[in-house]
Structure 1
Amino acid sequence: MRIMLLADTHGVLDPRVADLARGADVLVHAGDVGAGIADELAGLCDDVLIVTGNNDPDDAPWPESARRALPGGELVVIHGHQWPARSRHDRLRRAFPEARAIVCGHSHRRVLDTDTAPWLLNPGAAGRSRAYGGPGGIELFVDGDDWQPVPRVFEPQPRRR
């Protein structure tokens, strides 16, 4: 099973990230989606899971957090703005101790913290806004108990003048 993890598009999905996400078994977006992106994601994958971020409208149709049972464990998705950066990972682990992995966004910084359970996975920004190191995401390959997160990062696009 191939799960594409994205976050922080803020209304712009890099086309290279979209191409990578196309045809995933599940496409997960960890908030700060922006206008038009949910429809674009729905065209890439039949199973899209989105949570709301602090920059999404209050009336956004997505939940604040979501859980998905997968072979080998549970995936929890939350934007992460609910906790300060310094203690975010510890607090997420305390809030969701039963999860195999927690996907969060908000910082725009890609993180693969797999040394401690549950894992913390931040796909970084999939658009133009503060895409540190370039836009991208994380492909999570799930085969029973074997989970393999693989970061995918593209060169930043030149700024338009």
Structure 2
Amino acid sequence: MRVGIIADTHGFLDPRIAEQLAACDVAVHAGDIGGAEVLCAMQPREEVYAVRGNVDGPQTWPDHEGHMLENLPGQLMLDLPGGQLAVLHGDSYNSSQRHAQLRESLAETRAIACGHSHELVVDDDKYPWILNPGAAGRVRVGDGPSMLILVCDEQHWEVETHRFPPRKYRAISGVNGD
């Protein structure tokens, strides 16, 4: 099974990441989504799972998408071949102790997917693994948008990292009378 893991899109999903998600069985968004348009752009073969981030609120989502926002959990557990993946944004954990705190509070899982820092991290030295895909949009992407793909079966889990070069996005002239 291929599980695409992203976070921190803030209303924009980089098309190169959307293309990678389309080749996955399942896609996971670890919060700071920024609107339903991002979730709709995630097109894996089977299912999309998402959790609410600290900036996913009525002030950042369009009014007509409020019903979708209300249904986003703060955390979820996915049963995958070979173990459980916990998904949460991670903003409620102390940044200097985040990995230790996550491991302590979710010790029964095989891995934890989280976001918030916009930094790509694969901490697989001990269980549960901490998997932070970095930022998959265009806000604070530093070295470029990034994501993770978890390839798993009953016996083996492996993580692929994907980072794309940063792009400059231009406004389109002629829109709204410009």
Question: Residue type of the partner of 2:126?
Answer: T
Q: Is this contact kept in 1: 2:52–2:89, CA < 8 A?
A: yes
2:154 aligns to what? Answer: 144
Give the match for residue 176 of structure 2.
none
Residues paired across the two proteins, number? 160
Quick check: 2:31–2:52 contact (8 Å CA) kept in 1?
yes
1:116 pairs with 101, 126, 131, which one? 126
* Contact 2:77 2:84 survives alignment (8 Å): yes
Distance 2:2 2:52 in 1: 22
- In the aligned structure 2, how far is the partner of 1:76 from the partner of 1:13? 22
CA distance in 2, matches of 1:23, 1:150: 13
**Where does structure 2 lack aligned partners over 5 or more consecutive residues?**
59-65, 172-178
Match of 1:65 among 54, 62, 75: 75
**Once the 2 structures are TM-superposed, how far is the Cα of residue 116 of structure 1 from its aligned partner?**
1.4
Three-state SS of the structure 2 residue aligned to 1:86 is coil
Name the residue aligned to 1:29.
Answer: 29
The answer (yes or no) to whether the contact 2:25–2:44 under 8 Å persists in 1 is: no
Report the structure number with the largest CA radius of gyration: 2
How far is 1:44 from its partner? 4.1
Matched position secondary structure for 1:19: helix
Separation of aligned partners in 1, 2:32 and 2:132: 13
Mapped pair 1:77 → 2:78: no
RMSD: 1.3
**2:155 corresponds to which letter in structure 1?**
D
1:99 matches 2:109:
yes
